[in-house]
Amino acid sequence: MKEIALHILDIAENCIAAGGDRVVISVTDEASTNLQSIRIEDNGKGMSEEEISRATDPFYTSRTTRRVGMGIPLFRQHAEMTGGGLKIQSEKGVGTIVEATFHKSHPDRQPLGDLEGSWLLLVSSNPGIEWELICSSGAGDFSISTSEIRSALDLDNIRGTELTASLKRMIRNNLDELGLE
């Protein structure tokens, strides 16, 4: 994967497969520590301690459609290449949190990429799920959620080229103001 947003998309799809109906994606830049952390949290079925320990093994997957699971192992590898890391917290019946930390100035850190496009793809493809995006840096905070969008625009479904294009521009403008890259 060439950008962090694609890792986020992949992990968020795991959240959907785990039966989560609420997924929160957080991106935080800490200038004082030169760290960028990516956190994906769901309220899905959760994992046992054994499943957590096996989740970073590329030859383990809980899916029956394939025999390997590269998403979390690649996410961990890319974080570790920058001197960062990955941790997973989970509880059966409660949900899972996957958090990766990257050293921002490391030459091997991938760019954040098209976070807004990835988030909007998840939103438009999975209308029954509550999605939230929370971004923060030393320059401020920004958040957006599907419930806020539905409420503000009196919509049941967040689809449509014009709406999606407008939301994409708004999110990108906020990411740029926060200096998230």
pLDDT in tens, 29-86: 999 999 999 999 999 999 999 988 888 776 655 544 544 446 899 999 999 999 999 9
Other CB atoms within 10 Å distance of the CB of residue 158: 17
Q: Are 86 and 100 in contact (CB under 8 A)?
A: yes
Residues above pLDDT 90, as percent of the chain? 73
**Domains of the chain (ranges plus CATH)?**
4-178 (3.30.565)
Q: How confident is the model at residue 6 (pLDDT cuts 50, 70, 90)?
A: very high
Q: Which of 27-31, 32-36, 130-134, 147-151 has the lowest mean pLDDT?
A: 147-151
Nearest alpha-carbon partner for 90 in 61, 51, 129: 51
Task: For 55-99, give the DSSP string.
Answer: TT-TT--S-SS-S---HHHHHHHHHHHTT-EEEEEEETTTEEEEE
Order of all β-strands in the sheet with 95-103? 85-91, 95-103, 35-42, 22-30, 130-137, 140-145
Angle between helices 71-81 and 4-17 (to 10 degrees): 150
pTM for the structure as a whole: 0.91
* Percent of the chain topping pLDDT 70: 90
CA separation for the pair 82, 68 (Å, rounded): 25
State the average pLDDT for the chain: 90
Identity of residue 49:
E
Burial degree of 112 (CB within 10 A; 0-12, 13-18, 19+):
buried
The better pLDDT of the pair 149, 65 is held by 149
pLDDT digits (tens, 9 = 90+) for 76-114: 999 999 999 999 999 999 999 999 999 999 999 999 999
pLDDT of residue 59: 61
Residue with tokens 């906020």: 174
Q: pLDDT tier at 181 (50, 70, 90 boundaries)?
A: confident
Tokens of 63: 């899916």
Q: CB of 115 within 8 A of CB of 27? A: yes
Angle between helices 161-178 and 115-125 (to 10 degrees): 140
